[in-house]
Structure 1
């Protein structure tokens, strides 16, 4: 015969029956034992329920409850002894079986004691049957010293086995940890989780040490990432979800945080990854390092140092310094390179400071003919305009306009003065003062031939453009001179305007002192010394000689033409000795100019915002100004406040009479 589950409904009886409490409890006690013995075929749930009901009804609830506690306790102690005696690896299987049996028994007992659970227990302040069963299992089975230690060790051994590649019974593990969680969060934590985290830290500490000694950084990170995923997977299968953050923190701290500097500075570490385009490893390092304190900051420090050092090596490369155009790339790679530059540019906060330096270097390239291609320069400016807007690039584009206008102007000048083509020629670049980098006006005495040409050009230009003024920037020009040395050897020398002024003095003199040269040319002292140093002290370019011979130019030196000058090249470029990098005063001056340029931008932004909003509080105004200007630079809140005060003084704004932090637009 097949067993069929019978559905029945238990109801309260309508009349009281006299009972013998001892006899009734004896029958119920026997039934509880039979339930634990899984021998329930001879039991009548209706009779058992009625007897338990009658005991509560006749005020014997205390006897019923205490009897239940004593009976269940006795049975659970027997189960504990049975588990303690279990041999070999079947301990967890037996624990799981006994736990399931206990839950089945508890369910049946709860149905029998339903009336006691509903009426007696709430009034007497006792523990409900369900919770009572859990408490008694915890106290008599799990907290048994032998079982507690053995259970923990068995679970930790399974975890270790799985970490070292063994296949374990995850379902069994899940049942055991669920049992511990059902018994209460503190039970799971005390009996398993705390020790699990400690053992895990020890495991990963030992593994990290071993990997550091034998693995490359990229391989270490792969294993660390894999371990992280394994632990997350382990939690999802058979641990409490709350354990995930705790165990991942252990892996992060032990494998990553504790080895942070070692990993970064390994021979195969961050710099090697950057140099060898190990993008996958770099991405993995970023994802793992961002999980620990100071991880990304350490990456930032090392990357910053590497980039600075790499840049320094590039700009200090002697071979490349001879011809800076060598830093250009092939035309095929130009667009790719410019896109990479723009990617870096987007990370700059002080974009207006970049603009200041870029404009200065672009000016030199345009004026000295050092651009690889105007099309390339324009392409980059278009990218800057797309990124930052027309206002950012208007002056840069104006520089190109000036160069084209200057070429047209020179063509017109020589068309109107055809006879000038037979003698010395002049090329003038007329620069709009507001467009080009600010330069102090420096002049010198030009040779008579050139001075005459300059005067004719000035007359022509001012005749074409009424109301304009020309200021000559003699420190920014170049010249090509034809020179004859010694035994008639001829060369064409490409020199600066200052160098031309000095060299042409020797057409009428064999020997000149420093003082005589200074008096004749009126070149500023610092520029003159640099000029003479490049003419007399640079090996293979020393078209002059000086006495006494020394490494520096002094005011008591005398100079004469080097008749023994030789070069395999007909055209010889004589460079100017200049500082290889910007000096601190120059940096401060650049920064000062940038700050000055920011002032009108900040004030214009404040006025524009207030004109549209009419009334706005201080914090929101500063936030809006910052938002609108962040494409160029991040304004200092203190600076914004200072300009607000200035606008209030000039009566563009006023403070609200009732709220001093509120500003009102006045125009």
Structure 2
């Protein structure tokens, strides 16, 4: 038959057992079969007979009760009991059941003895505290462990008391619960003991914060104290709350001191280092609380650090830290700043700071005209850095890590991804807004220098790969989108594109077409003039081939035509190149003039209703030259340079005035031409100037450099003003102003023609919204245009309501 009770193979219930003097009476003594026992076999059955001593009659209940009660102090003091634990447990069982029902008496005695034992510990421990003995927390832990061990033994012996009397059904605390309550009320809540315990725990946390490391020898004791406080149900008020209050005070004070150092730039503490310090403190505090207290305290103390050292000083730290990270272009520092701002719930401050930083940085860069040549390079460098920095913050790898970590909670994963996307969009939008405000702080200049930067890039072409060059072009287009003066960019871009195409300065026609397509896609159809320019050159190439075939067929008629090519351009699609008027009396040499005349005559036979208007300032010539007895050279020059050099076929020396009179070139243009021929790079100085000097004066004399030599047989002599001159820039800006006036008037007339009748304010609003994509309209200028149109009788004011305008058909 199987046993009704399954006993455990191992138990600690009686680990504190100490045998009593009468323990032998608790066991049944078997009679030695050799001394009185007998056995016999009958029918195969073995019989065993035991002679047992007859026990005396059971003691009366009062005696049993006194024996039981007298054992309680011994158990609580750790001394041996008079009776065995088995006998005591059996006695308790008998007395708490019917008919005795002495449970209340036994329970009351246990309660009194627990309090006496606790009071004894209090007296002992108060004395050690008052004596300022070392190692208080360790002594408390040891005392608790002894108390708990003895109470466990007491609870095991009086187990039937808990089952019958002190149980939840009767609403009476068990022996363990009673012991915990007693320890809490008598010992733990003792003012001196509690204050000492709290002081020691807080002192440990302060010491670890000061040394910025873990006190490994103390931490196990702190863990035990935390466990005791939780068992006593006093952890929150005795440990947790004081710990959080101290952490709050510490980090509030420390943060204020460090922020003042940052603001005062003292001790070399930077805002970026402060951010790093806060993140380190978050990790440090969380690790300490997780290891020694619990997860809830860790969460609270992390919130304290982020609030006191982060959120409360965010406005004083984030902008400075961002400036430092951006100026040093430190990706890691920016990443820490992003983590810091999101952790302390101050991400909007970071967004605003980024926008303000970019705006102020660009304002400082473009406000000084001395920085104009470096303006776009600096702007692009800044944009590349911030674009890469934002991209690094939101790399897909980070999102995959989040998804892997939280794949069990898909809703949380989706929410995190959404939050990250929103944050990335906010930073990108702040970047765009900052660039727009910064580039918009100075009128016209950024758009002009973007066009000049693009011109330089298109001349040089790709230095590494086509993909990188295309990326660079995309960056330039992005800058164009940030500027308000898109018409300024268009004007300068068209002018420089024309120069590149006509003078053969472009690195690649395919790249030019690619750029035109990009501009049309991003900026609109107003950039279609670039297509027309490219088509004009293609048509001109075909035209020249036709002309050259006619020359070959009719060689005698075109014997003076020379190796001549011409680009026939659509005037409306190209920049308005002026005719040579004021200060010019330009005269082509006879051989060049005959080439022009023959082509003009032939072209008139092909297109009778068209008239050619020559722009000699865009012409180039290839000359064959010999200097003394040196070899022949092929020199690429401008038409004005060629006209000057051809004079030296007749004369070896000429002064400035003679050259001017013979060529008819305007004075300033002649000065630039002579500078390029006599004062350019050393290997291109085909003329000599007397007296020497960097400036060309009317009294200077120029001579053919007979001793000139060059390592290259073919070379070019670039003009001194290879890029757009200041005068050209000024004229372009003047033309832009004129064009804006025309655009405003055309827009006003178009709107009024559609509306017929409109108030002045609504007309201004409509005009602004219509032209703002091309340039920032000035309301005062719009009102001037309205007045001008009224004077010219395109519009009229309402006779009764002066603020109302009518369109006059």
Give the shorter-chain TM-score range: 0.5 to 0.7
Taking CA–CA contacts closer than 8 Å with sequence separation of 6 or more, which of the two structures ends up with the larger relative contact order? Answer: 1
Which TM-score applies when normalising by structure 2? 0.52
2:310/2:340 contact within 8 Å kept: no
Provide the C-alpha distance between the structure 2 equivalents of 1:530 and 1:616, rounded to a whole number of angstroms.
Answer: 55
Cα distance change, pair 369–296 in 1 and its aligned pair in 2 (3 A):
closer
Provide the C-alpha distance between the structure 1 equivalents of 2:503 and 2:487, rounded to a whole number of angstroms.
Answer: 24
Which residue of 504, 507, 511 corresponds with 1:369?
504
**Within-5 A mapping of 1:205-284:** 205=260, 213=268, 250-257=312-319, 265=327, 269-270=328-329
Which residue of 702, 714, 725 corresponds with 1:571?
714
**Within-5 A mapping of 1:349-498:** 349-391=484-526, 393-418=527-552, 419=555, 420=558, 424-442=562-580, 444-498=586-640
SS for the counterpart of 1:605 is helix
Deviations 1:409-442 (A, max 9, x none): 2222223332247862111112232222222212
Cα distance change, pair 326–226 in 1 and its aligned pair in 2 (3 A):
farther
Cα distance change, pair 610–409 in 1 and its aligned pair in 2 (3 A):
same
2:561/2:599 contact within 8 Å kept: no
Provide the C-alpha distance between the structure 2 equivalents of 1:647 and 1:367, rounded to a whole number of angstroms.
Answer: 39
Aligned length: 501
Query: By how many angstroms is 1:194 displaced?
Result: 11
1:205/1:255 contact within 8 Å kept: no
1:201/1:254 contact within 8 Å kept: no
**Residue in structure 2 matched with residue 202 of structure 1 by the alignment:** 257
**Residue in structure 1 matched with residue 393 of structure 2 by the alignment:** none
Query: By how many angstroms is 1:390 displaced?
Result: 1.1
Provide the C-alpha distance between the structure 1 equivalents of 2:365 and 2:336, rounded to a whole number of angstroms.
Answer: 15
Query: By how many angstroms is 1:659 displaced?
Result: 4.6
Cα distance change, pair 457–580 in 1 and its aligned pair in 2 (3 A):
closer
Provide the C-alpha distance between the structure 2 equivalents of 1:561 and 1:458, rounded to a whole number of angstroms.
Answer: 33
1:290/1:296 contact within 8 Å kept: no
Provide the C-alpha distance between the structure 2 equivalents of 1:331 and 1:514, rounded to a whole number of angstroms.
Answer: 47
Query: By how many angstroms is 1:477 displaced?
Result: 0.9
Which TM-score applies when normalising by structure 1? 0.61
Which residue of 656, 676, 688 corresponds with 1:514?
656
Matched, 1:552 2:617: no
SS for the counterpart of 1:346 is helix
Cα distance change, pair 506–450 in 1 and its aligned pair in 2 (3 A):
same
Deviations 1:49-82 (A, max 9, x none): xxxxxxxxxxxxxxxxxxxxxxxxxxxxxxxxxx
Provide the C-alpha distance between the structure 2 equivalents of 1:349 and 1:472, rounded to a whole number of angstroms.
Answer: 35
Which residue of 666, 670, 674 corresponds with 1:532?
674
Q: Which runs of 5+ in 2 are unaligned?
A: 1-131, 138-194, 286-294, 342-346, 382-448, 450-454
Matched, 1:500 2:642: yes
Query: By how many angstroms is 1:308 displaced?
Result: 5.7
1:617/1:661 contact within 8 Å kept: yes
Deviations 1:94-136 (A, max 9, x none): xxxxxxxxxxxxxxxxxxxxxxxxxxxxxxxxxxxxxxxxxxx
Q: Please, which moves more after superposition, 517-526 or 291-300?
A: 291-300
Which residue of 317, 337, 340 corresponds with 2:472?
337
Provide the C-alpha distance between the structure 1 equivalents of 2:798 and 2:669, rounded to a whole number of angstroms.
Answer: 57
Provide the C-alpha distance between the structure 1 equivalents of 2:799 and 2:210, rounded to a whole number of angstroms.
Answer: 73
Query: By how many angstroms is 1:296 displaced?
Result: 4.7
Cα distance change, pair 451–203 in 1 and its aligned pair in 2 (3 A):
closer
